[in-house]
């Protein structure tokens, strides 16, 4: 299933994509796409619906982040060996873990706001995991049981904030609009092999990233198991699993986003995002 949220910011309603690619309303079935509705039991109820009986939503319509009420937005850094190399950093022996502020979450096609004092605004196409069941001390062999599905994430990053203003990456990762999620939350039954998905990103007319999830250092099952040894994972939590090479920091010379740029990115089976970069100064 391809689940999504649509409508004005803060007023999104739950929806689903039918077999013809049309958007149908799920408001009569569930209240939202969030931790309360991502259990295997609820997803099974939705899966049994005759989608043709659900109200058809007239498009175009704004698409919001594909999951609401995210408790934790966790990221795995340097999880592709070739990206670590272009960043001049060693491949970690264990997952490199940091967090994005949940206030960074935005819709897949909402504007990226270039922050005040930003100098090195960058992009990262990533596969994100959405947790469906409470997970604590999970074995790798059972980790997929705790995953509701997957989505596209653009791990927008400000490299000056991240790397040149102290040792804490969170400062360069958590600005408003730095976490577009969606367009869809695709349930795991539609993604039988999350380790063989093509992924790409371009800025304006130039493609910078062209990778595949098969080159991950740590796979989704290991990541879920690993994180659950340090913190419980709750339904609705999002884990972004790292990016392949081709980020702006890795170009020679480096290339960074500027006001007016358009970022387009996608992952096989998970849909496409597109964002316009708008300078903070234009809004204030």
For residues 66 and 134, give the distance between their C-alpha atoms in angstroms, rounded to a whole number.
19
DSSP symbols for 7-45? SSTT--EEEEE-TTS-EEE-TTT-S-SBGGG-SHHHHHH
CA atoms within 13 A on the CB side of 200: 11
> Domains in the chain, ordered, with CATH?
65-282 (3.90.850.10)
Helices (DSSP H) in 207-252: which residue ranges?
Answer: 220-228
User: pLDDT 10s digit of each residue in the chain, 284 long?
Assistant: 999 999 999 999 999 999 999 999 999 999 999 999 999 999 999 999 999 999 999 999 999 999 999 999 999 999 998 888 888 888 889 999 999 999 999 999 999 999 999 999 999 999 999 999 999 999 999 999 999 999 999 999 999 999 999 888 999 999 999 999 999 999 999 999 999 999 999 999 999 999 999 999 999 999 999 999 999 999 999 999 999 999 999 999 999 999 999 999 999 999 999 999 999 999 98
For residues 15 and 182, give the distance between their C-alpha atoms in angstroms, rounded to a whole number.
13
């Amino acid at each position: 299933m391809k689940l999504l949220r649509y409508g004005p910011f803060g007023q999104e309603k739950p929806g689903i994509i039918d077999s013809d690619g049309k958007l149908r309303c799920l408001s009569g079935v569930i209240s939202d796409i969030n931790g309360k509705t991502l259990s295997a039991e609820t997803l099974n109820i939705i899966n049994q619906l005759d989608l043709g009986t659900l109200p058809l939503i007239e498009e175009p319509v704004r698409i919001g982040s594909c999951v609401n009420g995210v408790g934790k937005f966790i990221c795995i850094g340097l999880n592709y060996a070739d990206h670590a190399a272009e960043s001049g950093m060693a491949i970690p022996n264990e997952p490199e873990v940091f967090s994005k502020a949940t206030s960074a979450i935005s819709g897949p096609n909402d504007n990226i706001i270039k922050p005040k004092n930003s100098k090195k605004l960058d992009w990262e196409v990533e596969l994100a995991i959405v947790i469906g069941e409470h997970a604590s001390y999970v074995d790798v062999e059972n980790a997929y049981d705790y995953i509701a599905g997957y989505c596209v994430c653009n791990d927008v990053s400000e490299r000056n904030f991240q790397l040149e203003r102290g040792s804490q990456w969170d400062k360069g990762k958590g600005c408003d609009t730095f976490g577009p999620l969606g367009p869809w939350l695709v349930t795991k039954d539609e993604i039988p092999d999350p380790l063989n998905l093509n992924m790409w990103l371009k800025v304006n007319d130039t493609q910078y990233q062209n990778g595949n999830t098969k080159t991950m250092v740590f796979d989704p099952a290991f990541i879920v198991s690993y994180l659950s040894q340090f913190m419980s994972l709750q339904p609705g939590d999002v884990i972004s699993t790292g990016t392949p090479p081709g980020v702006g920091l890795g170009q020679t010379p480096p290339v960074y986003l500027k006001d007016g740029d358009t970022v387009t990115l996608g992952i096989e089976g998970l849909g496409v995002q597109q964002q316009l970069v708008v300078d903070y100064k234009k809004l204030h």
